[in-house]
Each structure stands twice: as C-alpha cells, then as structure tokens.
Amino acid sequence: MNRQALWNKLIADWGKKAPASKAHFERASRSQVRGGSHSIRLFEPFPLYDKWARGSKVCDLDDNQYVDFWQGHYTNILGHNPPELTAVLADFLRNGGGLQTGFPGWHQVELAEEICSRTNAERVRFTTSGSLATLYAVMLSRAFTRRPLVLKVSGGWHGSQPYLLKGITAYQGGLSLRESDGLHANCAEEIVTTRFNDVGNLEEVFHRCGEQIACFVMEPFIGEGGFMMVDRSYLQKARELTRSYGTVLILDEIISGFRFCVGSLASLYGVTPDLATYGKIIGGGLPLTALAGRADILELANPKLGPGRRVRAEGGTFSAHPSAVLAGLTMIRFLDHHKEEIYPRINRFGEMVRREVPQIFARFDIRVVSTGHPKDHVPGSSMAMLQFPLQGQEEIRYPEEVWNPEICDVEMREKFLRLAFVARGFHAAHGFGSACAAHSEQEIHGFLNAAEEVARIISSC
C-alpha cells in the first residue's frame, strides 16, 4: 500500500467536501490551539465544525450531514439533542430555572439517590468533568490510606489530571511513559502501571508494593485502551487484592456507566468498588460527573474535618449545575422506562458493526479485528473499534497491542479511517464509536456500505 498516495487522496476528498470547515479551521487556529479544544475532536488535516446536531446526525458549516457515531464522546446514548431532554430543559429555563444559582436545588438529591441505588454507592459528590472526578477519587484514596502510590491500568485514560497521566497511548516497548510535561517531580514514580486483564501481573505488582498502593484505578470497559471488557476473573482478583492490601478500588465508569444497563457495569459482574466515577451519559449532554462510593471515604470531603485531614474535593463553581442535574435525572429515568427497547437495539447495532466490518475488509484482503465485544454476564455492547493487526493476530487482547505500531496499524485506525468515513458522510472515531437509540438500521447498513468503499480505496492505493 502506498500510504502517502492514500493520505493525499483522503485529504483531497475531505478538502472538496468541507471547504467552509477548512476556512474556519484557519481562522480558529489564530485564536485557539489547533483550532479548538480537546485534541480528539481536532483531527487532521482540519476538523469538522458543526452547525447543528439532531438525533443520529450532525450538520457542518457546508450543510453536509453526517451520521455520527462519536455522539458527544459517547455521551448521547439517545442521540444528539433528544427532545425528551431539550423540552424539559426549555421548560426549566422558561420557569425561572436553568442557570447556576449557587444553591443545592431540589433535583440534586433525586439524582444522587438514583445513582446510589443503581450503583450500590453510599455517597455521591458531583463535579463537572471526568478529570476532576478521578482526581478527587485519587486524592481521597491517598488521604484515606495515607499511602503514596497510585496503580493504574496501562492504556487507561482518566482525564487530564496529574495523578493518572502515565501509560496511556504513547508506546515505547510498552505503555509506561509519563504522557504530559508540567507535572510534579515525583509523578512518574508515584504512578505504577499494570497490564489490563493480566491477573499474574496484578498479583506481582501487589506482591512487590501492595502496602504502598493507595488506590487501583481501572475501567471495567477500557475506552482509549481499545474497547475491551474486563474479564470476570480479573475484576474479582482486583477486588480481592485491593481488599486484602487495604487499597481503594476505583472503577472509572465514565464511559461504561449506564452504557450497558441502567447502572454500573460493575453491578453486572456483581462487584462493588470502594469508589466509582460516572460521567457522560449521566449528565444527559451537559457537564456533570459523579464520584460515588463508600461513605467513610467520601466523608473525608466533609468541611467539618479540620485542615490536614479534610480533602478539598469541592466539585467547583459549576458542580451540580441545575440544568445538568435535571438533564441527568431525566436521562436516567427515560433510560429506565425504555431499557427493554433501547439496550437491545443499540447492542444489536454494535454487534452488526463488529461482526460485519471485518468480513467486508477481508474481501479486500485487509485484516480487521473488531473490539468492543460483551463478555460474561454483560448482555451486549453498543461499542465498536476497528483494529488493523499487522501480523495476522486473530484477537487483540491488551491496550499494549492496540497502541503498538508493530502489532496494529495505529495510523490506519486513528487517522486514515476517520477521514475516509467522514468524506462519505459518517463520523466515526477509532473506526466506529458507539451506536445510539437514534440510529436506524438503514444508517448502520449505510455505514457498512461505506466500509466497503473505504476498503476498496485502501486496497487500491
């Protein structure tokens, strides 16, 4: 394959399709770093700038419409701007509510109760981002245990916060690099990494330094690490080891929470963490995240505790924003009322993509392995990522494989595919993303047809 020829063709197609986004990118780059915020949105050579988004679709500045599988970083399980939520918010605004008041409001307790009862948590603290929620989780764990080390899974992305910016996607003989400058001096030593779903490695780390580990942070469905679900035996071992070493088990469910059922993914495995973080879906499209878990740990944020003991996990000015709380509450209740219809539908779409795209590419002699499959007692999965193994691997099992450019064609998945699909009217990150309730069967078939065209172009270059 001539990669440069492929890239040139993809850039030319995209430039022709979206000239207004291209011009906007040039303007935006003069006032914003790479023309916007959050690198994952700002794909090369220039991103799609949206005008409106409704249901399955997003419309760009050139009035092109795309079927979107990114859906607000996997937030919009009902699709973009669902009327079930926007109508409630419009009423709220009309009736004197909606913007930040600086008071706790009456919806907040209802959302907290919903989250506690659906995730087996005793206390909740709301904040505005996953980064802050995981930061607080680590701060509380270090204070609770009075230990210095943070253990995380390599490939785990938990937001831009100083305790977890190591071993994410930068591959160099493994995933264990510090991935940001500007961190405190001991950062690299205080973060220890372990391989996802590798019980032996986990036991070895705990055996080596378990008494120093404040918390073990992991996603039960790893997102950035490659869309893989935890093995039951691994999650049980993680629970067992953390309990016996007095380490706080933090499950980061920012992606997985309410994605696979109306509650935590861990509950489907019958495991209760000490702390968990929820975001994306629970804010209904507005900035809201929850740190939930054991009362004795979360109560360290209680202002009654004096300096030195108290953890300043405040949440911030916009924490529990009234509109976000109302949107989240409406979302959870809507999901609960329609769960029999929504989850099987989106899981079926996820399954179609995971099963059929590898077969389509195989017809062009291109090897694709899909990830995002459900496991054990998880009934299905609406998530799919496409991997391009370079050495004939039948299965991709670890984030180390997903990000190792000698094992997977990372550039194909992350860079080429996004451009190839967007030029054909489908916005897909990491090869696909997530199905939502607003997608139609026809749109999924449309994506599969586009996959065939993309495979043909790749094989012809």
Ligand X SMILES: Cc1ncc(COP(=O)(O)O)c(C=O)c1O
Q: Per rule CB under 6 A, is residue 225 in the interface with ligand X?
A: no
Of 139, 177, 191, 255, the one binding ligand X (CB under 6 A) is: 255
| Footprint on residues 371-430 left by ligand X (CB under 6 A) | none
By beta-carbon proximity to ligand X, the closer residue of 130 and 273 is 130
Which tokens sit at 151? 């253990």
Cβ atoms of residues 381 and 350 within 8 Å: yes
Question: Minimal CA–CA distance to 46: which of 444, 423, 408, 438?
Answer: 423
Q: What are 221's strand-pairing partners?
A: 229
Distances (CA, A) of 114 to 103, 162, 294, 320, 332: 20, 30, 16, 14, 8
Of 70, 126, 144, 157, the one binding ligand X (CB under 6 A) is: 157
Name the minimum Å distance from CB 63 to ligand X: 29
By beta-carbon proximity to ligand X, the closer residue of 130 and 328 is 130
How far is it, in rounded angstroms, from Cα 53 to Cα 28?
A: 20
By beta-carbon proximity to ligand X, the closer residue of 252 and 400 is 252
Of 71, 75, 119, 129, the one binding ligand X (CB under 6 A) is: 129
- The DSSP output letter for 412 is I
Question: Minimal CA–CA distance to 178: which of 203, 199, 150, 197?
Answer: 150
Name the minimum Å distance from CB 133 to ligand X: 7
How far is it, in rounded angstroms, from Cα 205 to Cα 218?
A: 15
**Please, what is the Cα angle at 386 between 384 and 387, to 5 degrees?**
135
By beta-carbon proximity to ligand X, the closer residue of 279 and 284 is 279
Name the minimum Å distance from CB 221 to ligand X: 9
Q: Per rule CB under 6 A, is residue 153 in the interface with ligand X?
A: no
| Footprint on residues 279-298 left by ligand X (CB under 6 A) | 279
Q: For residue 45, is the peptide bond before it cis, meaning its omega torsion is within 30 degrees of 0?
A: yes
By beta-carbon proximity to ligand X, the closer residue of 73 and 345 is 73
Chain centroid to Cα 355, Å, comes to 22
Name the minimum Å distance from CB 282 to ligand X: 11
Amino acid sitting at position 312: R
Of 56, 75, 119, 131, the one binding ligand X (CB under 6 A) is: 131
Cβ atoms of residues 261 and 92 within 8 Å: no
Sole window of 102-110, 249-257, 338-346, 438-446 interacting with ligand X (rule: CB under 6 A):
249-257
Sole window of 23-31, 43-51, 154-162, 257-265 interacting with ligand X (rule: CB under 6 A):
154-162
Of 72, 79, 82, 159, the one binding ligand X (CB under 6 A) is: 159
Name the minimum Å distance from CB 71 to ligand X: 13
Name the minimum Å distance from CB 460 to ligand X: 35
Sole window of 252-260, 371-379, 407-415, 424-432 interacting with ligand X (rule: CB under 6 A):
252-260
Contacts of 426 (CB under 8 A, 6+ apart): 66, 67, 68, 69, 446, 447, 450
Which tokens sit at 133? 């929620």
Q: Per rule CB under 6 A, is residue 73 in the interface with ligand X?
A: yes
By beta-carbon proximity to ligand X, the closer residue of 168 and 454 is 168
Name the minimum Å distance from CB 349 to ligand X: 21
Torsion angle, CA of 351/355/356/361, rounded to 10 degrees? Answer: 140
The residue nearest ligand X at its CB is 130
How far is it, in rounded angstroms, from Cα 373 to Cα 354?
A: 8
Name the minimum Å distance from CB 157 to ligand X: 5
| Footprint on residues 201-220 left by ligand X (CB under 6 A) | 219
Q: What are 433's strand-pairing partners?
A: 384
Which tokens sit at 62? 């050139």
By beta-carbon proximity to ligand X, the closer residue of 252 and 409 is 252
308 three-state secondary structure: coil
42 three-state secondary structure: coil
By beta-carbon proximity to ligand X, the closer residue of 202 and 290 is 290
Of 80, 158, 259, 373, the one binding ligand X (CB under 6 A) is: 158
Sole window of 142-150, 251-259, 390-398, 402-410 interacting with ligand X (rule: CB under 6 A):
251-259
Name the minimum Å distance from CB 442 to ligand X: 29
Cβ atoms of residues 226 and 396 within 8 Å: yes
Q: Per rule CB under 6 A, is residue 223 in the interface with ligand X?
A: yes
Name the minimum Å distance from CB 450 to ligand X: 25
Name the minimum Å distance from CB 160 to ligand X: 7
How far is it, in rounded angstroms, from Cα 76 to Cα 20?
A: 26
How far is it, in rounded angstroms, from Cα 75 to Cα 69?
A: 11
Q: What are phi and psi of 293, to 5 degrees?
A: 160, -145
Using CB under 6 A as the criterion, which residues of the chain lie in contact with ligand X when the complex forms?
A: 73, 129-131, 134, 157-159, 219, 223, 252, 254-255, 279
